[in-house]
Amino acid sequence: MSTAGILRDAAFEAFARHGGRTAVAGGAEVLSYTELGRRIRDAAERLRGTLPAGPHVGFCLGNGPEYVVLYGATLAAAGLPLLLDASFNTGEIAAIRADCGLDALVLERSKAEAFDLPGKGEPLPFAGDVVVLPLAQSGAPTYRPRPDTEVCRFTSGTTGRPKCLEFSGHAVLSAARNWVEGTRMRAEDRTLCLAALSNGLAFNTSLLATFLAGGELHFFKGAPLTRPVARRIEEAGITRLVAFPTLYRNFVAPGGPARATLASLVYAISAGAPLWPDVREEFRSLYGLDVSDYYGIAETGPCTFERHAGHHRGLGEPLPGAEIRIAPDPDGADGEEGTGEVLVRTASMASGYLNHPGLFEQRVDAEGFYHSGDRGRLIDGRLHLVGRTQDHINVAGRKIDPTEVVAVVTALDGVEDAVAFPDEDLNREALVHLVVVAADGGLTKAVVADACRARLAPWKIPGRISFVREIPRTGIGKPRIAALREQLNARKEPAE
């Protein structure tokens, strides 16, 4: 439990300062800053009367005003919000509960009824289909958060145990303030956030930052299809769109929305994966607006942003409070001169992984720079990414540890070697490409796929499986992914 209250105080100061201005809009519900503050105080009283002191409250809910109110209420009740992926299953929730402690979940009633969790209480209605589900603790959690932790967020972990990142109030407030300063966010801005608030893109660019600036935070109900999204932009006068690359690709597809529907946009912000160059050019041609790239890391918060419309390459310059260095590639690595691992130091850095002690610290050097695992270079002060050194594959905003996929496959009889890396399907959606070296011809793609489905979460299952005679590796055993891609492309193997 945190007793610092930095985020609570910053939020209520913003509510008082901006008063009658619109703060949050979702569906038919619109709340002013004054109304949002009142709703949060009322909800905090309900939490205090229902849950233990300093509750750990897990948010397993899609975006909406209810999310913002209960998130604020948890902070106001001196509790700890744990922002979960809304798609987490019962096993992942149970693992988080054992590791970090959960006194309640915020979720939709249907999901509350479906979860089979020991000690599950009666769902407490909050608003619409949203309920607070009390969870009686059968014992103390394995790990205790740091005294200054005010928010926890999660990254995908191995063996069904998502890694819990701890953030101090100072770190979260720094991320928000630096985003406001670095992107010149104003009270006139209306942000439409299509990324889940549990995701760093939305959390850092749209939640507290909007309130500090006195702007409006808009949510979209339902699937983010291009025409309904464009209609919402036009009707609400949205000035900032926060989304993943897929939406921008859909905007430029044949039959996309008319140019006039996006006329109010000042920033179209993309993150989570690289935006395709042709999509960027086509979007600019169709709508007269550059897509602004954002680069952030779950563990460090916002890093770079492209503020200047005249620059069409790279991921922009470091934001206030962020420093970037490039560590030269080791001998034998594929890459150009000046390319290496991206190292990041920010004012919004996580404190560590609550349920994986020491893991975060292993990736922070003596000068406080986090070793991201991304490979890139700085050109005229702007960051350009060229790939990954190791670790996670980003699929639809979820990070997948390729070693987990490889571990499942190499446990199968007849597998001599395997590697997993990011790739794209025919629609250019990100997927996991698994390459296997089999001892003989008896191993099939179906057998490999069945093993993955039996042991991995749905989004971690490889979207493509290939067999090769040998995986090219460097002298120190590192897979040479560039060479492997060339080998596979030469075969012109059809997509799975």
Residue 424 identity: E
Quote the tokens at residue 315: 């991921």
Contact indicator for 427, 246 with CB cutoff of 8 Å: no
Taking Cα atoms as reference points, which of 412, 424, 496 lies closest to residue 455? Answer: 412
In a domain, residue 92? The reply is yes
In three-state secondary structure terms, 238 is coil
Query: Which of 169, 186, 218 is the C-terminal boundary of a domain?
Result: 169
Please tell me the predicted confidence (pLDDT) of residue 27.
79
Number of independent structural domains in the chain: 2
In a domain, residue 134? The reply is yes
Q: Are strands 393-395 and 398-400 parallel, antiparallel or unpaired?
A: antiparallel
Q: Which helix (H) or strand (E) holds 48?
A: helix 33-50
Residue 144 identity: R
Contact indicator for 468, 435 with CB cutoff of 8 Å: yes
pLDDT, tens digit, for every residue of 393-405? 778 777 787 877 8
Which residues of the chain are under the pLDDT cut of 50? 1-2, 158-159, 331-334, 475-476, 495-496
Give CA–CA dist 18/189, Å, rounded: 13
Please tell me the predicted confidence (pLDDT) of residue 329.
67
Domain with 136 in it: 6-169
Please tell me the predicted confidence (pLDDT) of residue 214.
98
Residue 44 identity: A
> CATH number, domain at 481?
3.30.300.30
In a domain, residue 366? The reply is no
φ, ψ at 381 (rounded to 5°): 80, 0
pLDDT, tens digit, for every residue of 223-251? 889 999 999 999 999 999 999 888 998 89
> CATH number, domain at 127?
3.40.50.980
Give CA–CA dist 111/26, Å, rounded: 21
In a domain, residue 352? The reply is no
Q: Give whole-number Cα distances, 212 to 7, 209, 262, in Å.
A: 11, 5, 25
In three-state secondary structure terms, 339 is coil
Q: Would you tell me the crossing angle of helices 169-183 and 6-18 to the nearest 10 degrees?
A: 40
Query: Which of 117, 136, 169 is the C-terminal boundary of a domain?
Result: 169
In a domain, residue 333? The reply is no
Give CA–CA dist 156/298, Å, rounded: 11
pTM, two decimals, is 0.80
Query: Which of 149, 169, 189 is the C-terminal boundary of a domain?
Result: 169
In a domain, residue 139? The reply is yes
In a domain, residue 233? The reply is no
In a domain, residue 199? The reply is no
